[in-house]
Structure 1
């Protein structure tokens, strides 16, 4: 359901509601808006898949004979990839929520040289802010907590390495 109101001079692809809907339908970003159970299960599957890929890579291209070092190296690389994935999710959703919550919309009519600013009407502003508050903000909070848990995992790995 894309917005096609005629009183909005912003091009279709640059309207904040349409940017939100397009992002919500994309594979990566739709995963971040799923239910908590589905989000955790998919995160677990992603972690397992990355661990297997990095394990195969390390077995083929490294000379690691210590199983503990091999496991920690695999864990670190998997966490780094997932951390960068969450950074990408955070940046995408924060851009969209910023445009949804703003009272003005900057847009380009035909190129980089002719930018315009449109002041949202009250109908657009209320609709966009409701979507930003109740749809996008919970996802951003979930992504922040996921990044914090990955950071805590890095600290735990570091402490484990420094102890042993």
Structure 2
């Protein structure tokens, strides 16, 4: 039995637990919920796809026959930045949901932007939401944060080498 359905005036699609479930079941936002191997494969595939995407543009700027190192460094930097933006989008989506789960109040709109309401969560719903936030969502946020920090460390070497060569 869902506590939200009994006590909550918030529309179903705006309830924090349902927002969490919809993110967890979505194609893009489910990436951090995958195993580490599957998650890393998705990130690597995204990085390689971005490499293919930026290659034609960078070939016109840095001809590979004349400037091969500049081309490869700029391709890695650009594709890593694009992958970083994708990871930031993942992080922002999950951080929005965790803020709504951890909050004692829920802002919602009944029919449009002009009639916003605030609902104070009862203690049992607040406890359940915070449990989900702490033990389900925070590890996902940490996974995305760790990936972003690793990517920023990895990208720093080609940036320095790009200006050296």
Task: Flag whether TM exceeds 0.5 (same fold).
Answer: yes
Aligned to 1:115: 116
Secondary structure (helix, strand or coil) at the match of 1:28 reads coil
**Deviations 1:31-74 (CA, angstroms, capped at 9, x unpaired):** 12211111112211221222122224434x44513111111111
* Distance in 1 between residues matched to 2:29 and 2:13, nearest whole Å: 17
Secondary structure (helix, strand or coil) at the match of 2:91 reads helix
Aligned to 1:141: 142
* Distance in 1 between residues matched to 2:37 and 2:155, nearest whole Å: 24
Aligned to 2:19: 19
* Distance in 2 between residues matched to 1:138 and 1:80, nearest whole Å: 23
* Distance in 1 between residues matched to 2:70 and 2:164, nearest whole Å: 13
CA contact (8 A) 1:3 1:17 kept: no
Paired residues in the alignment total 162
Aligned to 1:97: 98
* Distance in 1 between residues matched to 2:159 and 2:30, nearest whole Å: 32
TM-score, scaled to structure 2: 0.90
**Deviations 1:52-111 (CA, angstroms, capped at 9, x unpaired):** 22224434x445131111111110110111110111111111110000011110111111
TM-score, scaled to structure 1: 0.90
Unmatched segments (≥5 aa) in structure 2: none
RMSD between aligned alpha carbons? 1.8
Unmatched segments (≥5 aa) in structure 1: none
